Amino acid sequence: MSIDRRMSIDMDIEEFRRHGHEVVDWMADFLRDIEKLPVKSRAKPGEIIGQLPEKPPQEGEPFEAIFQDFQRIVVPGMTHWQHPSFFAYFPANSSRPSVLGEMLTAALGAQCMIWQTSPAAAELEERMMQWLRGMLGLPSGWDGVIQDSASSATLCSILTAREQVSGYGVNARGFDAGGRLVVYGSAETHSSIEKAVKIAGLGAESLRKVPVDGSYAMVPEKLQEAIREDRRRGNTPCCVVATLGTTGSTAVDPLAEIGEVCRKHRVWLHVDAALAGSALVLPEMRWMIEGIDAVDTFVFNPHKWMFTNFDCSAYFVKDRDALVRTFEIHPEYLKTREGRRVNDYRDWGVPLGRRFRALKLWFVLRTFGVQGIRETIRSHMEMARSVVERIEASPDFELLAPAPLNTVCFRYRPQGISDPDELNDLNARLLEAVNDTGKAFFTHTKLDGKYTIRFVVGQTYVSQRHVDQGWKLIAETAAKL
Binding stretches for ligand PLP (CB under 6 A):
90, 149-151, 190, 192, 243, 246-247, 272, 274-275, 301, 313
CB 327 within 8 A of CB 350: yes
429 Cβ partners below 8 Å, 6+ apart? 481
Q: Cα(324)–Cα(348) distance, rounded to whole angstroms? A: 6
User: Which is nearer to ligand PLP, 138 or 271 (by Cβ)?
Assistant: 271
In the bound complex, what is the minimum distance in angstroms from residue 61's beta carbon to ligand PLP?
34
User: Which is nearer to ligand PLP, 114 or 258 (by Cβ)?
Assistant: 258
CB 430 within 8 A of CB 49: no
User: Which is nearer to ligand PLP, 186 or 427 (by Cβ)?
Assistant: 186
Alpha carbon dihedral 255, 313, 247, 453, in 10-degree steps, equals 140
CA-based radius of gyration for the chain: 24
Beta-carbon-side half-sphere exposure of residue 141 (alpha carbons within 13 Å): 8
In the bound complex, what is the minimum distance in angstroms from residue 190's beta carbon to ligand PLP?
4
In the bound complex, what is the minimum distance in angstroms from residue 344's beta carbon to ligand PLP?
23
Q: Cα(73)–Cα(61) distance, rounded to whole angstroms? A: 16
User: Which is nearer to ligand PLP, 90 or 362 (by Cβ)?
Assistant: 90
Burial of 40 by CB count in 10 Å (0-12 exposed, 13-18 middle, 19+ buried)? Answer: buried
Q: Cα(331)–Cα(153) distance, rounded to whole angstroms? A: 24
- Provide the β-strand partners of residue 184: 208, 240
User: Which is nearer to ligand PLP, 93 or 247 (by Cβ)?
Assistant: 247
CB 442 within 8 A of CB 434: yes
Within 46-187, strands assigned E span 143-147, 181-186
User: Which is nearer to ligand PLP, 141 or 351 (by Cβ)?
Assistant: 351
In the bound complex, what is the minimum distance in angstroms from residue 364's beta carbon to ligand PLP?
17
In the bound complex, what is the minimum distance in angstroms from residue 301's beta carbon to ligand PLP?
5
Angle at CA 186, nearest 5°, toward 308 and 281?
Answer: 30
In the bound complex, what is the minimum distance in angstroms from residue 381's beta carbon to ligand PLP?
17
In the bound complex, what is the minimum distance in angstroms from residue 430's beta carbon to ligand PLP?
23
In the bound complex, what is the minimum distance in angstroms from residue 443's beta carbon to ligand PLP?
11
Q: Cα(224)–Cα(210) distance, rounded to whole angstroms? A: 9
User: Which is nearer to ligand PLP, 313 or 427 (by Cβ)?
Assistant: 313
In the bound complex, what is the minimum distance in angstroms from residue 418's beta carbon to ligand PLP?
31
User: Which is nearer to ligand PLP, 403 or 478 (by Cβ)?
Assistant: 403
User: Which is nearer to ligand PLP, 297 or 301 (by Cβ)?
Assistant: 301
CB 86 within 8 A of CB 441: yes
